[in-house]
Structure 1
Amino acid sequence: MRLLLLGLLLVGSCCLSRAGLILENGAPIMWAHATSQPTDLTITEGVLTPDPWHYLHRMSFYRILIAATDPYMTSMGPGDNQSPIWGLPLQLGWMLTSGTVDAVLDPELCPVLAQVQMQSPAGVEGYCTTYDSCKTAHPDVINNWDSFFQGLKDATTSPLPENEKKDAILGLYWRAQMSSTAAHSTCQDKLSSYSGVEKSFAHSWLNAAEYVAAAHFQSSLELASQFMSPLPGRILKEDDSPPNIPDLSAEENHSLYIFSWMQSVDNFLGGTLASMWRRAMCSVTTRENGREMLKQLLFNPEYATSSFLSIVTSMSTSCGS
């Protein structure tokens, strides 16, 4: 899965931009134009040399990855498009429509015979371009993705109930995804080009991901697009004052308010809100409840933030007892 891990690592690095358009004909933006065959990508002297800054190259990574891993995703539930990996191409499409576009390769999951060397465009520095260089630069990231892919294979012979296998797979997925997100430090010098409001949103969005990850959110095509739909439809400007931005919808303003509120409370409490949440997500059942709480918080304006705090405190205490 080395090709796939390289793409996954890179997409976790820079994720500041987004837009309201999430789906195109029921799929991620330009999904129909992405290839499903690794050998359709650029090959130079027998070496696969895709460009991770090329939108369709990267979208192709995700199409290949989803197709390769879908046979191992039966625990995710009936029907198509249940894989949590759908969240990645949806996020990439979200980045494209905002105007800014920025693996472990197990032969049993994705038989790619060519070697892989990612392209690195002129003026772009600080990114690893091969499996070995990424393993050296970001060992935890690569190890966590290795564990995820191995966990997929192990699940096919596991005696656990399907809901527990699903929860275990999602746990491995989010551990890997969050370690990729943590690698965004390579993009810190790019932050100066954004407004202060946009940078605040970026930080609050990353903070919110901690809650989503701990709850083992199933970022299927349907659920991921649902949760991404209220994100702001444009880059935030310096004079924007959420949640009172006139040209954004009520849903967009509400999502900005919620993300900012979560970040502010966590900062005020010295990080203890996020810590309590992680402690509260201690079982399959509490994680199911946690996903419903996040849904209410994001989509139900009548859901009191004070209720969220009290429930999290109670849940974390119960888990610790």
Structure 2
Amino acid sequence: MLRPTVLFLFLACAVSLSRSAVVLENGMPILWAQTAGQVTDLPIQNGIVTPDPWNFLHRMSLYRLMIAATDPFMGSMGTGTGENPMWGLTVQLGWFLTSGRLADPTGATTCGLQTGDTMCVSTQSWWSCVSYLVSALPFLSAAQQGFLGEGVQVQMQVPEGVEDYCTTYADCTTRYPDAMAKWDAYFTGLKTSAESALPENEKKDSILGLYWAAQMASIYSASACNAKMSSYSSPEVTFVNSWLNSAEYVSAANFHSTLEKSSKFSIPLPSRVLQEGDSPPNIADLSQEENHTLSVFSWMKNMNSLLGGSLVRMWRSAMCSATTREKGREMLEQLMLNPSFATSTFLSIISGMTTSC
């Protein structure tokens, strides 16, 4: 349990050869079988659960345990086993790993590199910093709300000398009050929804709304990670900013981040950290799909900037009902996965949807 296998080396080679993101293994997130199946599989010291989120398997375990704990409240999501919206974060974490984004970008250590500990998650990585905010924070909230068992207490491990990460519910609530409050609202909302007499589609929309409000609050807290961007190339920093911008559209549409859909959206993401000189859509060692994704992300970010932020505001305005949010999710899928879907079409549809609200 919690032991990496040679699979990671195979996956890393597959990434370097195929240049497409590897996010699943036998239909499940990468190394899923190696993660903790129950809370007691994690380290426990003096009666306190002490996961090490700087180890990939531990960080992925946080998601596995939260998904298992919340699945009983997910009846409105659908009948499949991959309907829990938190599956999206597991797939995202797998992409972070195989694309090298959890590794130390400073070159000071071999953390996360093939020449070092491949399961190491670097405290210096911007991507792992953001990932911490959408893994450790919800896990601490879930424990506080009783989803992990009666009276379960949690304290995250942190490398010696590292002080810029919160480790307990109280600590994280002090540092990130809005994010923790919204994760609390999400977990308590699951219990409320289970007892609600609302139609299933309305329950689903409500749960997804609470989920994305919490996830975006964590992402907005990523300003605490900004100093770590200095270790990356300008193309990677540009991608970081456009990736953050894309989250505005996904969240406003209450995207149902199932295991299947999240995998489709992750496969076209860049399978390596971008370097100086990389210029989409003409990065030779990335696939056509990856180049397309980078171009779309860049277009959305640049267009929003040119319009003074009004593109995001228009999109949010258009996502005014469960019906338009459903249409929005379909349109995002076309934009990201269908190269023939013109960006001009995207703009005209948004305008039309906005006037219907």
CA contact (8 A) 2:145 2:187 kept: no
Cα distance in 2 for residues equivalent to 1:52 and 1:196: 28
Any residues of structure 2 matched to 1:63-212 within 5 Å, and which?
63-99=64-100, 100=102, 101=121, 102=128, 103-104=140-141, 105-106=143-144, 108-111=146-149, 113-212=151-250
Secondary structure of the residue that 1:116 maps to in structure 2?
coil
2:350 to 312, 315, 318: 312
Deviations 1:249-307 (A, max 9, x none): 11111000000000000000010000000000000000000001101111111111111
Alpha carbon RMSD of aligned pairs, Å?
Answer: 1.4
> Offset of 1:88 from its aligned partner?
1.1
Any residues of structure 2 matched to 1:9-20 within 5 Å, and which?
20=21
CA contact (8 A) 2:304 2:312 kept: yes
2:285 to 247, 271, 275: 247
Code of the aligned partner of 2:283: I
Deviations 1:221-247 (A, max 9, x none): 111111111001111111111011111
2:270 to 227, 232, 242: 232
CA contact (8 A) 1:19 1:94 kept: no
Structure ranking higher on relative contact order (CA contacts 8 Å, 6+ apart): 1
Deviations 1:179-217 (A, max 9, x none): 111111121111111100001001101100100000000
User: Runs of 4+ in structure 1 displaced over 4 angstroms?
Assistant: none
Cα distance in 2 for residues equivalent to 1:112 and 1:97: 36
The answer on 1:51 being equivalent to 2:52 is yes
Cα distance in 2 for residues equivalent to 1:113 and 1:273: 45
CA contact (8 A) 1:37 1:64 kept: yes
Code of the aligned partner of 2:77: M
Structure 2 unaligned segments of length 5 or more: list them. Answer: 1-18, 103-120, 122-127, 129-139
Cα distance in 1 for residues equivalent to 2:152 and 2:203: 33
Q: 1:141 to 1:36 in 2, by over 3 A?
A: same
Cα distance in 2 for residues equivalent to 1:47 and 1:170: 31
Structure-1 residue corresponding to 2:338: 300
CA contact (8 A) 1:85 1:219 kept: yes
CA contact (8 A) 2:146 2:152 kept: no
Structure 1 unaligned segments of length 5 or more: list them. Answer: 1-17
